[in-house]
Amino acid sequence: MQQFSFVQRYDAYKQAVETALTALIPNPLPHTLYEPMRYTLLSGGKRVRPVLAMLACDAVGGNGMDALYAGIAVEILHNFTLIHDDIMDAAPVRRNRATVHVKWNESAAILSGDGMIAIAYQTLLRSPDLTRLRELIEAMNIGIIEVCEGQALDLEFQDCSTIDLPQYFRMIDKKTAKMLELAVKVGGIVGNGSGTQIEALCEYARTAGIAFQVQDDWLDIAADASKLGKTIGGDILEGKKTYLIIKALEQRDSLPPQDRALLDEFLSKRGLSAEHIPAMQCLFEQNGVFASARAEVEKLTREAHNALDVLPDNAGRTLLHEFATMLLERTH
Amino acid sequence: MQQFSFVQRYDAYKQAVETALTALIPNPLPHTLYEPMRYTLLSGGKRVRPVLAMLACDAVGGNGMDALYAGIAVEILHNFTLIHDDIMDAAPVRRNRATVHVKWNESAAILSGDGMIAIAYQTLLRSPDLTRLRELIEAMNIGIIEVCEGQALDLEFQDCSTIDLPQYFRMIDKKTAKMLELAVKVGGIVGNGSGTQIEALCEYARTAGIAFQVQDDWLDIAADASKLGKTIGGDILEGKKTYLIIKALEQRDSLPPQDRALLDEFLSKRGLSAEHIPAMQCLFEQNGVFASARAEVEKLTREAHNALDVLPDNAGRTLLHEFATMLLERTH
């Protein structure tokens, strides 16, 4: 692999993903099945998962481009989860556009998501070397099962006021981190990595994935609104049990009465109205919740970096290292 | 393979399927994900697809039991389609019990169906010999894609008054026949059948599957209500475009005015109320629609039987032959 900068390599891989995805989903009939797929898959996005798969393939000494289709398979799975999650969350907007169940209808959203699962497996089969096909398929299966478990836990948590941090991390591990783990795993398998190498890649993706989510929770209320591109405090409005809320609830009994009342209102009303956001920001700031979140993200990112140590010292590894740093440093 | 009677072999295979399925889906957490799966998969049913897979394996000279898990994989896929189709059709009851989205909620139904797709692939991997894994995976992928296309076409047809028989058969081929085709295909691959043999098995399942659906359309309005276990004429009440309706519409212009009016009312109101069922039965009877349906089922069953000719003359082939006859002769 040539010594590209991180940005150059990311852009080159991302471009390969866009080109392949466009060719992959033509415009066949029935339209009600395939139009929502094209709408979802060809709407841009950062393509984090396929790029991670390709970098992981590089990192174990393979040729990143060999993991293109395995990575795209994971991207397709990720997009299937978005379509189905948006139905369950009754979300009207995603990436500044109407969600599939709103633009078409719920049946089209269910069906196109279902079809995308099969298309993901079919895309995986385009990989240039299928010697380790059984491992690849098993990784895909387990990835999907875990992401379904994560979403089920997330839904169960919405009805439960006593979620603690271990439960939160378990849910996030399944719901968010597992698809990143799947990405590096298929990349590592395609690159013919050893068991130890693939385990290291998974640990890297798991910790970086959880860091990503905690960062997301933090940015949702701490970011500059103009950069975030959406309302500040959306999670608070929706009553989501984020890292910040759970961390604040841990200290509930030692908080001043007005802060306790604010948290109790959040729980009983399953969210707060917009005028309470500044008070909640204040609560988080004054009680070290923001600081805990930042410390957690930094700790997890260090763990992600450390996990890479067992891999050969090559450009792929360096780029994975930079990738985790980039996630840590993002401001929106 | 020993010379069992069809019924003995069917029962033995069905029993093996039940035992394996019970062990396959334990009772893990989260309950909202796995309870609906257990509810659906362990609710009995005829287990047509896994038994077909096992008989197909026998028919190409393999050992039927080797196709147990491949067959169960198809059974799981079939059940996933039922759960998701029931959401789309807003069906409250299936197999005399509340559907998953009614008993739990829609999110649980979407998620458990999604998870079942991955569990199906995972179950396939339990097959004793995975030499032809790539073919097995590809068959599963295409089976799911086609069944999604079939359901999308079915939904599109509900909004369209001018469906002709070729369109109907294309939809049924995807929606109903493809899962039977998938069953014999995976059975044939696990039994290490040749390309010609597997093609013959698919042709057999395709024609038998379409015969099965036309028979279903016919039984819905022609069967003895006490045997059918549901209301006679349910398809007419729901406004479904069955073989019978499409066949009657073909002759619309040459029908007497009151029959024409009945068909037009069916189309414009998307279904008829119960008091119109006898008139519709009369229309079908007097204009040869029932006779056409019977003739079509018999023709397709003959084609299914003929497709088996290229297979070796063994007990597996004989049992597949009897299987198609059984489908033809069922009265409910």
What's the predicted TM-score (pTM) here? 0.95
Host H or E run for residue B98: strand B97-98
Contact B141 A122 (CB under 8 A): yes
List of chain A residues whose C-beta atoms are within 8 Å of the C-beta of residue B119: 141, 145
pLDDT digits 0-9 by tens, B8-62? 999 999 999 999 999 998 778 899 999 999 999 998 889 999 999 999 999 999 9
pLDDT digits 0-9 by tens, B125-148? 999 999 999 999 999 999 999 999
Interface test with A, best of B111, B130, B134, B173 (most A CBs within 10 A): B111
Tokens of B51: 């038994």
Contact A110 B110 (CB under 8 A): yes
d(CA A316, CA A6): 9
Bigger pLDDT: B3 or B113? B113
pLDDT digits 0-9 by tens, A131-173? 999 999 999 999 999 999 999 999 998 888 788 999 999 999 9
Q: What is the ipTM of this complex?
A: 0.94
Contact B152 A111 (CB under 8 A): yes
Bigger pLDDT: B230 or B116? B116
Mean pLDDT of A276-287: 94
Within 10 angstroms of residue B11's Cβ, the number of other Cβ atoms is 13
- How many residue pairs from chains A and B have C-beta atoms closer than 8 A? 130
User: How large is the angle between the packed helices A243-250 and A289-307, nearest 10 degrees?
Assistant: 120
Mean pLDDT of A206-229: 84
Which residues 87-116 of B are in CB contact (within 8 Å) with A? Answer: 87-88, 106-108, 110-115
The pLDDT, as a whole number, for residue A226 is 59
Mean pLDDT of B295-322: 96
Within 10 angstroms of residue B15's Cβ, the number of other Cβ atoms is 11
A174 Cβ contact partners less than 8 Å away, ≥ 6 residues apart: A146, A147, A149, A150, A153
Q: Which of A23-27, A206-210, B273-277 has the lowest mean pLDDT?
A: A23-27
Question: How many Å lie between the alpha carbon of A149 and the closest alpha carbon of chain B?
Answer: 6
Interface test with A, best of B149, B157, B159, B179 (most A CBs within 10 A): B149
* Residue B159, Cβ density class (10 Å: 0-12 exposed, 13-18 middle, ≥19 buried): exposed
**Interface residue A25 vs chain B (CB under 8 A):** no
**Nearest residue on chain A to B147, judged by CA atoms?**
A115
pLDDT digits 0-9 by tens, B209-220? 999 999 999 998
Contact A122 B134 (CB under 8 A): no
Question: How many Å lie between the alpha carbon of A234 and the closest alpha carbon of chain B?
Answer: 22
The pLDDT, as a whole number, for residue B191 is 98
A287 Cβ contact partners less than 8 Å away, ≥ 6 residues apart: A248, A251, A255, A259
B286 Cβ contact partners less than 8 Å away, ≥ 6 residues apart: none
| Per-residue pLDDT at B152 exceeds 60 | yes
Q: Nearest Cα to A218, choosing from A203, A207, A206, A234?
A: A234
List of chain B residues whose C-beta atoms are within 8 Å of the C-beta of residue A137: 121, 125, 133, 137
Mean pLDDT of B267-273: 91
pLDDT digits 0-9 by tens, A238-252? 888 999 999 999 999
Q: How do A97-98 and B97-98 pair as beta strands?
A: unpaired
**Interface residue A291 vs chain B (CB under 8 A):** no
Interface test with A, best of B145, B158, B160 (most A CBs within 10 A): B145
| Per-residue pLDDT at A1 exceeds 60 | no
Contact indicator for B229, B96 with CB cutoff of 8 Å: yes
The pLDDT, as a whole number, for residue B246 is 95
The pLDDT, as a whole number, for residue A205 is 98
Mean pLDDT of B270-279: 92
Contact B125 A119 (CB under 8 A): no
3-class state of residue B128 by DSSP: coil
Interface test with B, best of A83, A110, A178 (most B CBs within 10 A): A110
**Interface residue B261 vs chain A (CB under 8 A):** no
Tokens of A129: 């070397």
List of chain B residues whose C-beta atoms are within 8 Å of the C-beta of residue A142: 118, 122
Beta bridge partners of A93: A98
Question: How many Å lie between the alpha carbon of B15 and the closest alpha carbon of chain A?
Answer: 27
Closest in A119, A144, A156 to B30, CB measured: A156
d(CA B273, CA B275): 6
**Interface residue A315 vs chain B (CB under 8 A):** no
d(CA B175, CA B152): 9
**Nearest residue on chain A to B105, judged by CA atoms?**
A88
Q: Nearest Cα to B205, choosing from B130, B287, B94, B308?
A: B308
**Interface residue A160 vs chain B (CB under 8 A):** no
Mean pLDDT of A273-297: 94
List of chain A residues whose C-beta atoms are within 8 Å of the C-beta of residue B130: 134
Q: What is the mean pLDDT of chain A?
A: 93
Tokens of B173: 């081929």
Q: Nearest Cα to B165, choosing from B236, B245, B226?
A: B245
Within 10 angstroms of residue B240's Cβ, the number of other Cβ atoms is 18
